[in-house]
Amino acid sequence: MLDILVIDDDLRMNQLIVEILSEEGYSAAATSDSREAIILLRERHYDIVITDLKMPYVDGMQILTTAKQSNPDALVVMITAHGTIESAIEAIKKGAYDYIQKPFDPDQLLLIIKRAAEHLFLIYENKRLQREVKSFLQDDIIGVSRAIRDIKGIIEKVAPLDATVLIQGETGTGKELVARQIHKNSARAQKIFLPVNCGALTETLLESELFGHERGAFTGAMAQRKGLFETASGGTIFLDEINNTTASLQVKLLRVLQENMIMRVGSSKPVQVDVRIIAASNANLMEAVNSGTFRRDLFYRLNVVNIDIPPLRQRKDDIPILAYHFLNKYCRKLNKSIKNISLDAIEILNGYSWQGNVRELENVIERAVIMETSSEITPQSLPPEIKGSPADPLSCLHLMTIDEMERFLIMRTLREFKGQKNKAAESLGIDVTTLWRKIKKYNLE
Ligand SMILES: Nc1ncnc2c1ncn2[C@@H]1O[C@H](COP(=O)(O)OP(=O)(O)OP(=O)(O)O)[C@@H](O)[C@H]1O
Ligand SMILES: [Mg+2]
């Protein structure tokens, strides 16, 4: 629940605003004595302060200063009478959130308050995340989405069993991270976790890597060599990109799964192995089975437990917390102290499609930590391709007219560039003279 304080020396105006707000479910306190307002602001934490600009004793500017001193996140909305618009602009420059001109339409006020409430929600959410990520360990699986919570539940259940697990997901969704977590929570945790990329080697090479070979098994096989299945004995082997294995290798893998036996290349003597197998595929393996490129019997052997990790764009809830996690990680690694991700930067991250999933997000944050010179990650330190696809830009601007929207956008951009018109115009994609004209039209000077 937001704490709102309304300050206007005109008692009727106070009542009107409190009524408008309470009809929408907001509760607001009000005072018509600006001196009392100062005391109230010093005593408690208000989220939103709606104040008249011109009042006896203490004016709106001083209210603004006091409100910000007692709660730096407080959003202050100025009420101005006709003819005092310059002071309202001045107030915005000094950190007021917005202004509204008397006489106003109740909807106009509600729109501002609604937008302020959304803004505050993001600020508080941002702070909460900042505190929360501090407690994460480096290899924790981070996420608050339903999907990630379910996956953590499955890991907890299957890790202690020796069951084979098949993990599916697009590139960069965290398949290897999940596999390591399963190993870490199993009875084999003290033994080796051995990742093998099945897509990186030719068939013959992969085969001799996995199963080892006898001396003279092929040209260049000068000595007998143990394979990875034997090396991983007692531990876990992680067969990554299993979808890229050939038909003949698939037969051999099937034998390992069925009999826990391998045969070194060039040998006919089976060797018993004791490994847990976790496999990963970045393509839908069932489709590969149906199209005939993957053996059905091997698929069923692998698919004892199935973990599907959805792409990041389908679990957007995880984006802010992951971003903070990586911010924390790379600040520590690169010895920088960036504490925060600005709200517009979070909005941009939320809106991007993340074809490279969590890995791509991690790279973007690492780069931003390197590039950023201020104390928070801002859109300026994000790569241009990310900024090309904003989240639904209209999501917070509904109920506005086109003119209001334009005025709002220009005002926000000017604020972002601290009034530098050349830069603001460039970011808005218009030339400076057009910007000047619009500033005049909307009285933003
Ligand atoms: N939920 C998560 N929480 C924290 N870090 C994550 C999460 N998901 C992925 N990562 C990180 O993202 C990076 C990529 O993850 P990982 O290598 O496990 O992906 P992958 O699915 O195996 O990718 P590929 O298919 O390309 O091999 C790693 O640095 C990993 O730590
Ligand atoms: Mg991987």
Average pLDDT of the segment spanning 54-78: 93
For atom 9 of ligand 1, the residue with the nearest CA is 174
**Ligand 1: distance of its center to the CA of 418 in Å?**
38
**pLDDT tens per residue, range 274-329:** 999 999 999 999 999 999 999 999 999 999 999 999 999 999 999 999 999 999 99
The CATH number of 4-131 is 3.40.50.2300
Residue environment code for 246-259, b if the CB has 16+ CB neighbours within 10 A, otherwise e: eeebbebbbebbee
Among 177, 198, 327, residue to substitute to test ligand 1 (most atoms within 8 Å of Cβ): 177
Pairing of strands 225-226, 212-213: antiparallel
The two domains 4-131 and 146-310 share their CATH topology (first three levels equal): yes
Instruction: Report domain extents, the chain.
Output: 4-131, 146-310, 315-387, 402-441
pLDDT at 180: 96
For atom 23 of ligand 1, the residue with the nearest CA is 172
**pLDDT tens per residue, range 323-378:** 999 999 999 889 898 988 988 899 899 989 999 999 999 999 999 999 998 889 99
Whole-number Å distance between alpha carbons of 11 and 281: 68
Is the pLDDT reported for residue 414 higher than 80?
yes
Q: Which atom in ligand 1 lies closest to the alpha carbon of residue 177?
A: 18
Residues 388, 429 contacting (CB under 8 angstroms)? no
Whole-number Å distance between alpha carbons of 89 and 264: 79
**Percent with pLDDT over 70 in the chain:** 97
For atom 10 of ligand 1, the residue with the nearest CA is 174
The average confidence (pLDDT) of the chain is 90
CATH among 2.60.40, 1.10.287, 1.20.120, 1.10.10 for 402-441: 1.10.10
Q: Please give all residues whose CB falls under 5 A of ion ligand 2, grouped by chain where several chains appear.
A: 176
Whole-number Å distance between alpha carbons of 81 and 377: 38
**pLDDT tens per residue, range 171-213:** 999 999 999 999 999 999 999 999 999 988 888 889 989 999 8
Q: Which atom in ligand 1 lies closest to the alpha carbon of residue 240?
A: 27
**Ligand 1: distance of its center to the CA of 139 in Å?**
10
Q: Which atom in ligand 1 lies closest to the alpha carbon of residue 309?
A: 21
pLDDT at 250: 95
**pLDDT tens per residue, range 220-249:** 777 888 899 999 999 999 999 999 999 999
**Residues in the ligand 1 pocket, defined by CB under 6 Å:** 141-143, 148, 169, 171-177, 240, 282, 322, 358-359, 362
CATH 3.40.50.11540 corresponds to the domain 146-310: no
How far is residue 359 CA from its own chain's centroid?
A: 12
Is the pLDDT reported for residue 392 higher than 50?
no
**Ligand 2: distance of its center to the CA of 252 in Å?**
22
The CATH number of 315-387 is 1.10.8.60
Does this model's pTM top 0.85?
Answer: no
Within a 10 A sphere around the Cβ of 18, how many other Cβ atoms? 18
